[in-house]
Amino acid sequence: MPADLEEKMNRYGELLAEALEAATVAARPDSPLYEAAEECLEMADSYLDDGRHFRANDDPVNALAAFSYGHAWLDAGARIGLFDVPTDGHLFTV
């Protein structure tokens, strides 16, 4: 496996795991946005699991794609206000 691909796969996997830990739902539980935020978190978590599965099965391309997609769910949710996230650092682009 090329070193660049392995490094990116690992970096994006760590980024997604950290972002999942840092993101908290911003909406009140009685708001329809709360359910949307929960669904985004579920999708991101599922992509993290998928990426780890692909990485364990020597499929770095699909692992990197899964980690990237998972982070995109969180980043998009943060941009539209579904999540409270840190605004400094490297986890989110808000």
Position 84 scores a pLDDT of 86
% of the chain with per-residue pLDDT over 90: 80
42's CB contacts (< 8 A; 6+ apart) are none
Position 92 scores a pLDDT of 77
Position 70 scores a pLDDT of 97
Q: Which residues of the chain have pLDDT under 70?
A: 1-2, 94
% of the chain with per-residue pLDDT over 70: 97
| 90 found inside a domain | no
DSSP letter, residue 27: S
CATH number at residue 13: 1.20.1270.90
| 25 found inside a domain | yes
Give the length of the chain.
Answer: 94
List the end-to-end C-alpha distance of the chain, in Å, as a whole number.
33
One-letter amino acid for residue 19 of the chain: A
Position 89 scores a pLDDT of 74
Domain count, the chain: 1
Element (H, E) at 55: helix 32-56
| 94 found inside a domain | no
Q: For residue 18, which phi and psi values (nearest 5 degrees)?
A: -65, -45
